[in-house]
Structure 1
Amino acid sequence: MAKGTEIDEGAVYELQTSFRGELVRPEDVGYDKHRKVWNGSIDRHPALIARCTGAADVRAALRLARSQDLLVTVRGGGHSFPGLSVCDDGMLIDLGLMKGIRVDPEARTARVQAGVLLGELDRETQEFGLAVPSGIVTHTGVAGLTLGGGLGWVMRKYGLTIDQLLSVDVITAEGELVRASEDRNADPFWGVRGGGGNFGIVTEFEFRLNPVGPYVMAGPVFWPMEDAPEVLGFYRGWIADCPDELMTIAVLRRAPALPIVPPDLVGKHVVAIAACYAGPVEEGERALRPLKEFGSPVLDLCRPKPFVEHQKMFDPSFPNGWSYYVRSCDVAALNDDVIDITVEHGRRITSPITSIGLWQMGGAVERIDNRATAFNGRQAGFTFNINGNSKTAEGFDGEREWARNYWSALAPHHTSVYVNFLMEEGEDRVRQAYGAAKYDRLKALKRKYDPTNFFTLNQNIKPD
C-alpha cells in the first residue's frame, strides 16, 4: 500500500468524470499488476496510477498532480534499468494504453504513440519492408528508448533512433501541448533527442522510415570462453573497416538454457559475436563468412531470417520480472588491456543470466554532427553494457558487486556513457553522459521548460 500521501477524493472524482482511461488506487483490483515494471528488483507503490488513453488524459492527470503537489513519474514501456518509471506515494502516469501507429509507406514515415513497444512498431513497419532504428529487446518502450538516443541493430547504417525523429508532441510541466521539430520549437526538439523525459511528456513521435529486410543475415556465433582472447582479437581486426550495413555486439556469458542451444553447451562460459547485416542477404553472407569460419565455433546461429525474428533474439534473456543491474561506459577502442579485463571478468560470471555486451559503434552514428542532438556518445568505439542479473533476489547482491568490479577495472578507459544504461548514479554521471557543454545547454532548457523540476524522476538535469 502507498503510504504518506493523501489525495483529495473530490479531486480524484472530478478527474474520473472526464478521464477516458483508468485510475487505479492501491485498494483496486489490478493495482499490483499495473505498478510493476520490467526490472523485478524495483518494488514501489504509487498512490495513484493514471492509465492514459491520449493527450487529454495526460493533461488532466498533470493538472491533478499539480493541484495535489504530487510527485510524478511517467511510464512508456517501463523498461528502464533503475525503474524510474514508477515511484512511491506519488502519481504514475502510465502511457501503456496509447498504442496508435500510423505508417505511411509512400512518404516512409510513421506516427507512433508513447505506449508502443518496439516489437509492435516493427510489426507494422516491416509489413512494408521498412523500419525505425531501434533497440534489441522487443518489449522495450519506444518512448524511453528514443528519448535517450536509441541504440540498435541498424544504427550503423541509419543512425540512432533520434536521428530518424522528425517531430514530437510533448506536454510541458504547465500542461501545454507543444509540437516540436527542426523548424518549430527547435530548442526542445534538440533536447528531447537524448535528454530523456526532463522537458515534458512526449505523447507522440513522428519517425522517418528506412528500408530494412524483411529478411536479413543475422544471429550469433559462439566459441568457448577459453578462446575469448583470440576471438576478440580477431573481431577487433575484422570490424576495423567493415561496411555500415554490419552491426555487431560481442557477448560474454554462460550459454543460456534455450531450445536452440544444445543441452551439453548450456551453462558453459562462452563468447559470442552477434551480428546483423542491414542489406541484401547475399551481401551479408559474404560479409559474415570470415566470422563464421574463424576458429572452432561451438554453435552457429547466424543465418538468413526475418528481421522481426532477429529483433526478438535477446527477449528470452531479459524477460519481465527478473532482477537487473547494469553498469556502463563507452571506450574509444577494444585495445589489448580492454580485452584482457573483459575476458578476466567474463570468466568470473556465476549467474546463468549475467552477461557482458560490447556494442559496436561508428558508421552513421559517428558521421552525424555531434552538435545536432543532445546525445553525446557519437565518437565512442564501443558501448559497454555490464549486466549483473539474477532471476530472484537471491544472489543479486553478488551479481551487482561483480558488475561494479568489472566497471571499475575498465575505469582507465572510460570516455562517456549512454544515458539509457545508467542506474541512479548521481548528477556527475548524468553530466558525463552529455559532456559539459551539452549539459549546460540542457540545464538552460530545463530552466525554461521545467524551472521547478516537476519532471524529476528521470536521469535528472537540475534547472538550478
Structure 2
Amino acid sequence: MKTKLTGRIVLPNDPEYPRARINYNLNLSKFPGAIVFCQNETDIVNALKWVRENNVPFRVRSGRHSYENFSLLNRGLVIDTSDMDQISVNVNDRTASIQAGSNLGHVYTTLWDYSMAIPGGTEFSVGLSGLTLGGGFGMLSRIFGLTCDNLISLRIAIPKGEKGAQIVEASKEKNSDLYWACCGGGGGNFGIVTQFKFRVHPISTVSIFTVEWDWEQLEEAFQAWQDWAPFTDPKLTSQIELHAKCKNLIIAEGQYIGSSDKLKKLIRPLVKHTKPRKIEINNVPFIKAVEHFNDPSGNIPSLFKRSGSFIYEALPPKAICIMKQFLAKAPNEEASIWQQSLGGAVKDISPKETAYYHRNAIIAQEYLTKWTKEVEARENIKWTEELRVALKPFIKGDYVNWPDLFIKKWPESYYGENFNRLRKVKSEVDPHNVFRFKQSIPPFDFSEGYFLS
C-alpha cells in the first residue's frame, strides 16, 4: 500500500499558501507544489516515505532562514517541522528536550521560565534546527561553546532501504558518527531532525554594553575591538558592526555574565584609545539581554544577500582599509560588515572533534546588504561578492549557516579537513543521496557534478 501524506498540507490554491511558501530571503523566491507542516514524527516519516515512493524532489525546512533558500524548491514538496515546537525541561538534570520546529525566541523564553539557557543566535525567528546542525554561536558562545557543543542527543528521520524511512537516535554512545556529523555538518544533509536533547545552563542577570563611534573612527574602533574581543574574559562575548558611511555608525555590543562594575573594567581596552560618542552599560535579567540583541528587522522577509568568512589572525591595516573603502561606496545604508568574537569555549574543542571545523578562528565575519526594489539586486550582490573576494587573502573559509553559491570550493570552505569524514557518514546514512540540494554533502558513489545539480 502506498504511503499517504499526513499533517497539515498546504497546496498552491489554498489561501494560506502565499504565507506558507515564503522564506526570509525574498530575492530567491520559489513555488513548491505542496508544503506539509508535520505535527509529529509519524508525519515526518510518512513524508519521507512518500517522496521516495513517488520520486518527488523535496526540501526540509524549519526556521526559513536559509540564505540561499536551500529549504525551498519549485514544484516539489517542502517538509516543514515548524509546527513541532514543544519543549520540556528537567531542572534536576539540567537538560531540555526541544522539538525540531522550535525557533530561538520560543526556546529562550521557555528556558527562561526555569532560569536556564543554551548558547544560540540572536534573531528570534531563526530555527533551532538549522542553527544547531551548522554549529551555532551567539552571546553565550565564549563561555558555554557552540549550540551543538551542548547537544546531548537527537532523534532524526533517515532513509531506509530503497523507499523507506526510519527514526533513529544519535548521541556520543549511539550512532556516534551521525551525531558527530550533526554537530556542524549543516542542515538537510543527512535526515530530518524531530527532537533535540540539550544540556542547559543556569542563568539569572547579565551585564550588557553598547559603544558607538562615528564612522570616521572605523579603523581605530575595529582595531581596538579585534585586539580585545576574542581574548578577554570568556564570560564576555561581543560583536561589532561596521555600517555604510552614509549611516555614520560603528557599534560594538556585548554580554558579560557578571556585574556591570566588572564589565566597565573589562571594556577599558576597547574605549581608552578611541573617542566613542556613546558608552552604555546595564545589568539586566538575561531575557532582557536576549530581547536587546534580537534584531526585529532580521525576522522580517526581505530582499538580501549575505556571505561570510572566518578570521584566524587579526586583520592587518590593509584589510581594514579595504572594509572602509567598500563601506564608503556601499549600495545603500543597510549594507554592513558584522563580526562576532569567538575563542574561549569554542576553541577548547579541537577542529575534528565535531563536524564544525573552524574552532581556531578568533572572529566570525559576515557581509550583509538588503534592498527594497528588485532592480537593485545586481548592484547589491556585486558589492557583497567583490567585498568577499577583496578580503580573501586575509580570511579563511565560511560558516555553513551563511551559505553562498558564489563560493566554488565550498566543501573546503565550510568543512575544511572534515569533509571526507562527512562524506563517509553520508555514504552510510544516505547512500542513495536522497537528501540533496546545491552544496549538499554527497556520498562517495556520487560525482561532484551530480550533487551540484
Instruction: Settle same-fold status: TM greater than 0.5.
Output: yes
Who is 1:200 aligned against? 191
Aligned partner of 2:361: which letter? A
Distance 1:314 1:396, change over 3 A: farther
1:289 shift after superposition: 4.6
1:311 shift after superposition: 2.5
Contact 2:398–2:413 (Cα < 8 Å) also in 1: yes
Contact 1:74–1:94 (Cα < 8 Å) also in 2: yes
Distance 1:432 1:245, change over 3 A: same
Aligned partner of 2:141: which letter? M
* Counterpart-to-counterpart distance in 1, 2:67 and 2:218: 28
Q: How does 1:49-68 map to 2 (within 5 A)?
A: 49-68=35-54
Distance 1:426 1:402, change over 3 A: closer
Which of 215, 224, 228 is the matching residue for 1:225? 215
Who is 2:324 aligned against? 343
Contact 2:157–2:193 (Cα < 8 Å) also in 1: yes
* Counterpart-to-counterpart distance in 2, 1:236 and 1:426: 25
1:344 shift after superposition: 2.1
1:211 shift after superposition: 2.8
Who is 1:307 aligned against? 286
Who is 1:380 aligned against? 361
1:430 shift after superposition: 2.6
1:80 shift after superposition: 1.4
1:316 shift after superposition: 2.7
Distance 1:414 1:237, change over 3 A: closer
Query: Which stretches in structure 2 are left out of the alignment for 5+ residues?
Result: 447-453
Q: How does 1:385-396 map to 2 (within 5 A)?
A: 385-396=366-377
Contact 1:97–1:115 (Cα < 8 Å) also in 2: yes
What SS does structure 1 have at the residue aligned with 2:26? coil
* Counterpart-to-counterpart distance in 2, 1:316 and 1:240: 27
What SS does structure 1 have at the residue aligned with 2:300? coil
1:281 shift after superposition: 4.1
Who is 1:40 aligned against? 26
Who is 1:24 aligned against? 10
Distance 1:301 1:393, change over 3 A: farther
Who is 1:296 aligned against? 275
* Counterpart-to-counterpart distance in 1, 2:79 and 2:28: 17
What SS does structure 1 have at the residue aligned with 2:405? coil
What SS does structure 2 have at the residue aligned with 1:286? helix
* 1:2-23 residue CA offsets vs partner (Å, 9 max, x unmatched): xxxxxxxx96xx725xx2x211
Aligned partner of 1:304: which letter? N
Q: Does 1:462 align with 2:448?
A: no
* Counterpart-to-counterpart distance in 2, 1:457 and 1:391: 28
* Counterpart-to-counterpart distance in 2, 1:278 and 1:324: 33
What SS does structure 2 have at the residue aligned with 1:176? strand
Who is 1:182 aligned against? 172
Which of 232, 251, 259 is the matching residue for 1:272? 251
Give the percent of matched residue pairs that are identical in Structure 1 and Structure 2.
29
What SS does structure 1 have at the residue aligned with 2:152? strand
1:423 shift after superposition: 2.2
Who is 2:451 aligned against? none
Corresponding residue pairs, total: 437
Query: Which stretches in structure 1 are left out of the alignment for 5+ residues?
Result: 1-9, 256-266
Who is 1:158 aligned against? 144
Contact 1:171–1:200 (Cα < 8 Å) also in 2: yes
Which of 132, 135, 150 is the matching residue for 1:149? 135
- In the superposition, the TM-score normalised over structure 1's length comes to 0.89
1:293 shift after superposition: 5.7
Q: CA RMSD in A?
A: 2.0
Distance 1:455 1:301, change over 3 A: farther
- In the superposition, the TM-score normalised over structure 2's length comes to 0.91
Q: Does 1:78 align with 2:68?
A: no
Aligned partner of 2:191: which letter? G
